[in-house]
Amino acid sequence: MTHESSDLYDRIYSIVRSVPYGKVATYGQIAQIIGVRSGARMIGWALNAVPLQDRIDIPCHRVVNRLGELSGKMHFETPYIMRERLEAEGVSFIGEAVDMKIHLWIPVE
């Protein structure tokens, strides 16, 4: 990883850390915050690079796709961990997707 991408990943991780308990952010939302509008995939790559033991400090489970689906669930210890962690925080689901009307984090500028 280059120094530039390391700095970018650090910025991404800082934003993910700021997503409150019981809320979720989208990959695209985080990309927009760091100024990379079409960088949703890059956000996924950055989160996939987080070692499993660091995923409590960096709550990767709080990042979902734009529809509220758990598209990153295969990158956890089991495909169920992501949903279990969200439900433990009181996040509700409609089918397989987070109820975004209730749980989408809207950061204060």
Show the 3-state SS of 40-98.
HHHHHHHHHCCCHHHCCCCCHHHEECCCCECCCHHHCCCCCHHHHHHHHCCCCEECCEE
The question of whether 42 is a catalytic residue gets the answer no
List 31, 60, 70, 82, catalytic entry: 60
Could you list the active site residues? 60
